[in-house]
Structure 1
Amino acid sequence: MKRSLLRDYGFLIGIAGVIVALDQWTKYLVRTNLAVGESWVPFDWLRPYARIVHWNNTGAAFGIFPSGGAIFTVIAVLVIGAILYYFPQIPREQVASRIALGLQLGGATGNLFSRLYQGTVTDFVSLGSFAVFNVADSCISVGAALLVGAMWVEERRSKKRDEADPVEENGSRNLEGHSG
């Protein structure tokens, strides 16, 4: 049991650790190479579509609720706790759900570290007129979308299994029409 739990958490922490490292490294590169508000584009033709811009964000992902820094710190801690609590309950076969929670844990932890150690979150990816974001924000969003998709697929699989192998109200299998 202990070995199984360690393996489960190893998978989760492995994914989250890679995300946190990538998130913190990219934020560090932006903070050390661009002044706040300064942008960089490798090719001029790319400017209307994508650029790197140094932005400090005190609110939530994508700059929403800019004055809610303290509440988002508390929310991040609660989300991290919930992921750590529920993760072992997800069957190993549901790999997409497990990856999704690893992405979300890494994103939440990356932005939490930034809030605690910098007092603000460094955002830098600017695509068109969309809000500026960072690696952690994208992992939280991709993880949420992946989790919803995985839950939808699992629900469909479960319904197909139930239709293929119906169970009576009392919990016994319906064996009508089966020779035994």
Structure 2
Amino acid sequence: MTWWIVAILIVAGVIVADQVSKLLVLAHLFEGQYQLIPGVLHFTYVENRGMAFGMLSEHRWVFMLLSVLGIALVGFYMARYVKSTLGRVSLSLIVGGGIGNMIDRVRLGFVVDFIDFCAFDFWVWVFNIADAAVCVGAALFILELVIELVQEIKKKKELQCSEAAERNEAKEHAPKDEDEKNG
């Protein structure tokens, strides 16, 4: 059960980093922008009243309920089915990020977003540490699923090769028919 300790530490670490960063933003960046790396990375204060990218902003309580259910399901799935370290780390990041944003929704009625990559013309979203944790966790979980799939395919191939080798060996040691014995 030591993996639970690691999972709790990851979840807590994400929540603390997320909430501390948001408190700093609220204290020092309210309605402003700070150019950390001019033209590349800015800190821009945004109140996100919806989910990712502002969706469902007019249905706050429905979204909060869905978030709680999602966090609970991910936690249950991790406890019940996920056995790999990568899978557990990825889901811990997702849970930590979900809880970090949920704290904002309950406390403030919105999520504080502030990380603004402005170097990319296609990137228009402002996000926070919790969002980043959820995205990194999701990417790692997809990687874990791909790794498991590749391992499963490899095991099936090895089993097929082993079975074929056993059949060939059995044929080589099988008794010959009468014509071959006399000839």
Deviating above 6 A after TM superposition, structure 1's stretches of 4 or more consecutive aligned residues are none
**Deviations 1:83-136 (CA, angstroms, capped at 9, x unpaired):** 2211123454x2211111010000000001110111111000011142110001
1:160 and 2:154 aligned: yes
1:53 and 2:44 aligned: yes
**Paired position in structure 2 for 1:149:** 143
CA 165–27 in structure 1, closer or farther in 2 if over 3 Å, else same: same
**RMSD in angstroms over aligned alpha carbons?**
2.0
The equivalent position to 2:76 in structure 1, one of 85, 97, 116, is 85
Return the TM-score normalized by structure 2: 0.81
**Contact 1:63 1:131 (8 Å CA) reproduced:** no
Q: Distance in 1 between matches of 2:97 and 2:169?
A: 51
1:66 and 2:57 aligned: yes
The equivalent position to 1:21 in structure 2, one of 4, 12, 16, is 16
**Contact 1:58 1:68 (8 Å CA) reproduced:** no
In structure 2, what residue type is equivalent to 1:111?
N
Q: Distance in 1 between matches of 2:73 and 2:154?
A: 30
How many residue pairs end up in the alignment? 164
Query: Please, which runs of 5 or more residues in structure 2 have no aligned partner?
Result: 171-183
CA 178–159 in structure 1, closer or farther in 2 if over 3 Å, else same: farther
Return the TM-score normalized by structure 1: 0.83
Q: Percent identity?
A: 26
CA 91–53 in structure 1, closer or farther in 2 if over 3 Å, else same: closer
Aligned with 2:126: secondary structure? coil
CA 178–86 in structure 1, closer or farther in 2 if over 3 Å, else same: farther
CA 178–90 in structure 1, closer or farther in 2 if over 3 Å, else same: farther
1:178 CA drift (Å) = 5.7
